[in-house]
Amino acid sequence: MLPIANQHAIISQCAFFHGLTAAEVMLVQQAAVTVQAAPGSFFFQQGEEATALYIVLSGQVRLSQINPEGRQVIVHIFGPGEAMGVIVVLSNMTYPVSAEAMVDSAALAWNRQTINQLMKEIPHLALNGLRLVAQRFMELQERYRELATERVERRIARALIRQMQRGNGRAVPLTRQDLAEMTGTTLYTVSRTCSAWEQAGIVSAGRGLITINDYHRLLVIAEDLPPDHQCPQPATCFYCSPILNCDHFAVKRET
């Protein structure tokens, strides 16, 4: 189990608890219970009553949904500091997705009654909850737009970049099957695409891990840019965020 100080830091970095004072974070932490999950087990499953909100402490958690045809779609892969089951802050609803541990994982959990009480004592939490739900909604809209309008290669590149932006660095803990389910395509298509990218030096794919060797070239694919696109001023480049930009990965590309 993580030390109390580490738990405090993870709670503080979570968007749901953003802006809380140290005393408020301590109050939130004291109200939580720790939940452990072995690989392949679930924190919650799609269709169950949404009874608790979770913050991932350690490990990796796959959020997936089964569509009416019985096909699994991966919605997100969460790591430490990210919130699951945010729907519980709204009303008596069911979980729209399942949360499965990909590796040994742990999370802090607050049941609905506890969350409601905390929001009464810390009104800022209610605003954070609404912002987080709105953000997730916008992310899903973007994913649906990609599925409807973009070619598969771009969707795969964007999925890898999103995982980098979630703090995974250039070694993304995904299998090719995971990537297929995240991008609405087949394992064959993902394997063929990754193999081509490996030959070009863009990625390296191993068992359960895809390493991005050339972020700039992956960005060019994801944003459908000209092959000779350059970022002389990446901090102001439309396509490169100030944190995750081409200069940031320049040394890694050269190694």
Q: Beta 72-78 vs 42-44: how paired, if at all?
A: unpaired
Q: Please indicate whether the domains covering 4-147 and 151-254 agree at the CATH topology level.
A: no
Q: Is 157 helix (H, G, I), strand (E, B) or coil?
A: helix
The pLDDT value given to residue 250 = 39
- What per-residue confidence (pLDDT) applies to 167? 64
Looking at residue 208, its pLDDT comes to: 81
Residue 3: count of CB within 10 angstroms of its CB: 8
Helix (H, G, I), strand (E, B) or coil at 171: strand
- The terminus-to-terminus CA distance of the chain in angstroms comes to 36
The whole-number mean pLDDT for each consecutive block of 10 residues of the chain, a chain of 255 residues, reads 72 87 91 94 93 92 85 85 82 88 94 90 88 79 73 89 75 86 88 93 86 85 77 54 44 34
**Can you give the pLDDT at residue 2?**
58
**Sign of the CA dihedral with 108 first, then 113, 116, and 120 last:** negative
Q: For residues 42 and 8, what is the distance between their CA atoms, to the nearest angstrom? A: 24
Topology given in CATH for the domain delimited by 151-254: Arc Repressor Mutant, subunit A (1.10.10)
Class of domain 4-147: mainly beta
pLDDT at 240: 55
Cα–Cα distance for residue pair 198/189, rounded to 1 Å: 14
pLDDT of residue 228: 73
pLDDT at 41: 96
Q: Is 133 helix (H, G, I), strand (E, B) or coil?
A: helix
Which residue bears the tokens 């995974």? 168
Candidates 215, 176, 223, 174; CA nearest to 195 is 176
Please report, for the chain, the start and end positions of each structural domain, with discontinuous segments joined by +: 4-147, 151-254
In angstroms, the CA 159 to CA 87 distance is: 23
